[in-house]
């Protein structure tokens, strides 16, 4: 069996990969690109290979990493996907999770860094999260090797029983109608390409040209696609890509409101947020900056500048006289003494 390990950058994916495979790893490159590929045998399962895909934030084909990840999953159709999510930054990470679920492959979501969530006073209701996403969710801490055995068991069971996501439609209203209309339109093309129709339809609605080229739509189908998209944009009063993004983040926001309990903010943090809101305000920031700079200039050259300058002069004179007396006492050559006193001390003093 082959599993794809996917997740955002800096979510602990490499640490989890090492925990899953130990020393049974092979490092190479994906075909045709310089993006690194790592394969490994899952510990305790010699017939199970996990492929560590590049860290990405979405399946949109804008970067080489995103293209490699999407192509690998769509062309190889792995037996399962292991989606690692940074539990301390769950809202941002779940965007990729939703796209992976739309691929309609067996998938397990693992919440990494759950120890940090607990230590910060937060809580994530695993059962509620799993129910809303329609896929198994396993809490882990990859850096501490916590929950890894349970994760492997759930991953293997999900793949062996071919348990696909119970939910892959996260949109509603005009976006929902548009995606389903397009999915019906391209169903035969998607089946020929061995791509989930719903996923392909969603990418087409977003404006994914590579997917459109791969599906080989005829002129009539392209025209019908454009009509459906324009109708959705009119109803949503926004462009096609923003409509999908807004719908996904609306779902994520509602999901986290029910399943995630964030730690209470401290008084210091709330005070810091209020100060930042004032100092970074687009209207107040520049006047405040200019006021601070004027205050520094005024203090430097009027109130405390002269006093500090006099104090510094006294200090330098004291050190210079002490050094001259010490050099005189040790009988240092007058030329060397002059170099040190008049060259180094006087020169540094003038600069200061």
Task: Spell out the SS3 assignment of the chain.
Answer: CEEEEEECCCCCHHHHHHHHHCCCEEEEECCCCCCEEEEEECCCCCCCEEEECCCCCCCCCCCHHHHHHHHHHHHHCCCEEEEEEEHHHHHHHHHHHHHHHCCCCCEEEEEECHHHHHHCCCEECHHHHHHHHCCCEEECEHHHCECHHHHHHHHHHHHHCCCCCCCCCCCCHHHHHHHHHHHHHCHHHHHHHCCCHHHHHHHHHHCCHHHHHHHCCCHHHHHHHHHHHHHHHHHHCCCHHHHHHHHHHHHHHHHHHHHEECCCCCHHHHHHHHHHHHHCCCCCHHHHHHHHHHHHHHHHHHHCHHHHHHHHHHHHHHHHHHHHHHHHHCCCCHHHHHHHHHHHHHHHHHHC
Specify the pLDDT at position 349: 63
pLDDT tens figures, 100-129: 999 999 999 999 999 999 988 899 999 999
pLDDT tens figures, 77-99: 999 999 999 999 999 999 999 99
Specify the pLDDT at position 351: 61
Specify the pLDDT at position 238: 92
Residue 233, Cα to own-chain centre: how many angstroms? 28
d(CA 186, CA 217): 8
Specify the pLDDT at position 322: 83
The answer to whether the CB of 259 falls within 8 A of the CB of 132 is: yes
d(CA 278, CA 294): 19
Q: Residue 265 — pLDDT band, cuts 50, 70, 90?
A: low
List the one residue out of 297, 274, 279, 298 whose CA is nearest residue 289.
Answer: 279
Angle at which helix 173-185 crosses helix 219-236, to 10 degrees, equals 170
Q: Residue 70 — pLDDT band, cuts 50, 70, 90?
A: very high
d(CA 199, CA 254): 22
Specify the pLDDT at position 27: 67
pLDDT tens figures, 327-340: 778 878 887 778 77
Per-chain mean pLDDT for the chain: 88
| Beta bridge mates, 5 | 52, 82
Q: Residue 4 — pLDDT band, cuts 50, 70, 90?
A: very high
The tokens describing 167, both together, are 């939910």
Contacts of 49 (CB under 8 A, 6+ apart): 1, 2, 3, 39, 40, 41, 42
Question: Which residue would you say has higher pLDDT here, 23 or 141?
Answer: 141
pLDDT tens figures, 216-258: 999 999 999 999 999 999 999 999 999 999 999 999 999 999 9
Specify the pLDDT at position 331: 79
Specify the pLDDT at position 311: 78
The answer to whether the CB of 48 falls within 8 A of the CB of 3 is: yes
Q: Residue 348 — pLDDT band, cuts 50, 70, 90?
A: low
- Cβ count within 10 A of residue 328: 12
Q: Residue 352 — pLDDT band, cuts 50, 70, 90?
A: low
Question: Which residue would you say has higher pLDDT here, 310 or 259?
Answer: 259
Specify the pLDDT at position 33: 55
Positive or negative torsion for Cα 171, 93, 148, 30: positive
Contacts of 188 (CB under 8 A, 6+ apart): none
Q: Residue 38 — pLDDT band, cuts 50, 70, 90?
A: confident
pLDDT tens figures, 274-309: 888 888 888 888 999 999 999 888 877 776 767 777
Q: Residue 31 — pLDDT band, cuts 50, 70, 90?
A: low
Say what percent of the chain tops pLDDT 90: 64
């Amino acid at each position: 069996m082959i599993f794809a390990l996917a997740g955002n950058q800096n979510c602990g994916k490499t640490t989890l990969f090492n925990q899953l495979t130990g020393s049974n790893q092979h490092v190479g490159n994906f075909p045709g690109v310089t993006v690194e590929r790592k394969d490994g045998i899952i510990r305790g399962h010699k017939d199970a290979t996990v492929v560590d895909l590049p860290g990405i934030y979405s399946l949109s084909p804008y970067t080489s990493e995103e293209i490699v990840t999407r192509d690998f999953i769509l062309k190889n159709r792995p037996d399962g996907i292991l989606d690692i999510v940074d539990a301390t930054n769950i809202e941002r990470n779940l965007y990729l999770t939703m796209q992976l679920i739309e691929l309609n492959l067996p998938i397990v979501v693992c919440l990494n860094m759950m120890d940090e969530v607990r230590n910060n006073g937060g809580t994530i209701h695993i059962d509620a999260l799993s129910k809303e996403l329609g896929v198994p969710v396993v809490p882990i801490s990859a850096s501490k090797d916590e929950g890894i055995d349970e994760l492997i068991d759930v991953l293997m069971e999900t793949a062996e029983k071919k348990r696909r996501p119970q939910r892959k439609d996260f949109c509603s209203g005009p976006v929902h109608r548009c995606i389903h209309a397009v999915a019906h339109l391209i169903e035969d093309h998607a089946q020929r390409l061995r791509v989930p129709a719903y996923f392909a339809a969603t990418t087409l609605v977003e404006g994914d040209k590579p997917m459109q080229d791969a599906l080989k739509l005829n002129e009539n189908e392209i025209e019908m696609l454009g009509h459906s998209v324009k109708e959705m944009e009119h109803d949503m009063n926004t462009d096609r890509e923003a409509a999908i993004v807004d719908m996904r983040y609306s779902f994520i926001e509602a999901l986290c409101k029910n399943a995630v309990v964030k730690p209470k903010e401290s008084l210091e943090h709330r005070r810091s947020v209020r100060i930042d809101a004032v100092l970074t305000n687009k209207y107040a920031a520049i006047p405040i900056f200019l006021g601070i700079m004027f205050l520094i200039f005024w203090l430097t050259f009027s109130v405390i500048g002269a006093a500090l300058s006099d104090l510094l002069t006294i200090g330098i004179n004291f050190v210079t006289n002490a050094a001259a007396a010490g050099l005189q006492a040790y009988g240092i050559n007058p030329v060397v003494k002059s170099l040190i006193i008049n060259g180094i001390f006087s020169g540094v003093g003038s600069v200061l």
